[in-house]
Structure 1
Amino acid sequence: MNKQFSLVMSGLTTAFYLFSMPVIAGTATTADLPAPLRVAPSIKGERQQAGSQLGTIHHTKIADKLSYPWAIAFLPDGNFLVTERTGKLRRITPQGEVSDPIQGVPKVFVGGHGGLLDVALAPDFKKSQTVYLSYSEGTGDDEPVGLAVATARLEQGSLEDVKVIYRQEPKQAESPYWEFGGRFLFDDKGHVFITHGDNHVNLAPQQLDKLAGKVVRLSLDGSVPKDNPFVGKKNARPEIWSYGHRNAEGIGFHPITGQIWTTDQGPRGGDELNIVQPGNNYGWPIVSYGVDYTGKQTAETKGPHRHGDGFEPPIYYWAKSPALSSLTFVTADSAWKGNLLLGSLADKQLIRLELDGNKIIHEERLLAHLAQRIRDVRQGPDGFFYVLTDDPNGALYKLEPPKR
């Protein structure tokens, strides 16, 4: 086949997938291209087996018929809080009973990757009953859309005392490629870290007067800590902790080193695993291991990371994007202890990484038989793992890892 003709056809095929996807299914990226169809029935409440390199996995579908579920939080009473990207927050029992929508959720803009995103319990939840919600806000009618964070007191069927403690300013997302990030991470010093997507706005992740493409650090009330790296710097937002990110949808503390690790979705290739340090620049969109959806480097991107280029390289990357969606370190006792679990949207798998210090020494793909986009994976207080599938009929699964 003529090389030029092949490239043109490849670009047309990519464009077809990008613009034929429903907006609610997420941004139109290579990460969202359809995976081969694999059918494996999974019955609610039935404990099923799946193979892995370290032994048998058991998984149980707890609940289904969830509308694009995005995040899980574990309540002290054993129930789950689950966000649906379409704007609803629900309480789910371990037996799979799904509540009516909890009232009082802030008005949410739904489109692209936007909607109701992360949910987390405040560090003092047992006393305060406070939850944190991230979501996209704005009208989208020829007006930009941005990320926002609200806190509220959780009652049985409602949120009370809702307060918006943070807004992305300026709002920048203006096209069907909205990417918002939106994941929370709390430390033990009274701070919350929040990931931000690049909103598909060219060089915004490199511009310190913008919040797109950043990880920000706030105090729990939304105020800015005085020791943030850009406090007092001219033309720089004081909320910023790190910058040059594309769409980080996974964030967590390494249980031994205490370092912050993030996943970052690349464009067409180039998903990254990063160790995030204050004030550092992770390169997007100037350097990337991925290319634009046309198959070419963008005008901004000069190519992959190179030694001495002034940007922090990832500790691991994927040439073909799995579309990383979430991240959890395994600390519970099992054959996976010390491993890292990542959700994958495009490849519709759970990715298990074995670590040697900060090096990735082995990768295994799991749950491919479900053939569903995995949006969130969390380790529960019981030592098991809980997975959300991103679908109009999304599900919550309980995953029992192999024993030692």
Structure 2
Amino acid sequence: MSLEIVQEANWELYNKQKAAEAILYEKEKEAQAQKATAEATFYALQQLADGELYAKQKEAAGLVALGQAQGVYICMLLDALGGNYNALRDYLMINGGMFQEITKINGEAVRRLQHKISIWTNGGGGEGGAMKGVAVVYRMLPPLFKTGYIVLNRPWAFVQWLQQANIKEDYILMAEPDHIIVKPIPNLSRDGRGAAFPFFYIEPQKYESVLRKFFPKEKGPISNIDPIGNSPVIIGKESLKKIAPTWMNVSLAMKRDSVANKEFGWVLKMYAYAVASALHNVGNILYKDFMIQPPWDTEIGNKFIVHFTYGCDYDMKGKLTYGKIGEWRFDKRSYTTAWPPKNLPLSPPGVPESVVTLVKMVNEATTNIPNWGS
């Protein structure tokens, strides 16, 4: 009996040991699995950390290289600009788009009727070397207002030029890129008055009701406004210094006025200059012989300037075909996006002297200007 009891106890102990061993085995397997998982996780994290460290090292090396390259670039720019830090700053601001942002802000201000503009400058003078010829151009950039009428920047350019440039002459000739001077121009200005070309399409009397918004009755009769634009004009420097800021503000005010903008269109800044001159009591001597405008004006005579604003279209018999593209033509609009080629074909027989002279002088210029077309 006692042997059976002992055997039963041993069997029970054996079963318990086996059960315990099974549990221990499962725990060991679970621990090994957890260890493997932990090692894999650690390895992954280590790889990630190593990768991030490598990336940071490469990024840092890249930044060092970029900084070195930028340093060399800036030094080269500064050297090219004659050591002028103001000019370098201007270049970097333009290249970085800052002036474009200023332009947007100014454009919004104009649209909100804030036309009393403070004069923006980029600091004092002293530009030299490579930047001397374009320093004033940089100063013109901020007021390129988004009005769809880019020539509003012209009065601003004169304001800046008169403020910043060292102008030794007492009189100024205002002319345009499509003016060809065919003979020396004497100083036609007299007694404090300007000398100007009268335009048939500038009609102050016709638009008196519109112009009175900008030239009130207490300033005098509407006839005080001359039928001129700002070009061609010869005027005393001191008079222009007074007129230019007013010309700018009147131009902006007219552009904002829906009636004036509609009536004056592309000649708006011309009316604005005429009004500004009258507001400052600067009269003008009107010289019809100041310039001619082919093809309507046919002879040079004693004129000083050829203004090639209109297209010149002719058939091969020399007959004007205005309004229809001719067999032979010269029109500046043909070269809006390309250089006029050298040696333009001369006009056929019968074409008036004014047009013949115009094309010959364009050919003379393109032949003698270095690197023309490149």
Q: Shared fold by TM > 0.5?
A: no
TM-score by length of 1: 0.23
TM-score by length of 2: 0.24
The structure carrying a bigger strand percent of its residues is 1
> Normalized per residue, which structure has more helix?
2
Q: Which has the higher contact order (CA 8 A, sep 6+)?
A: 1
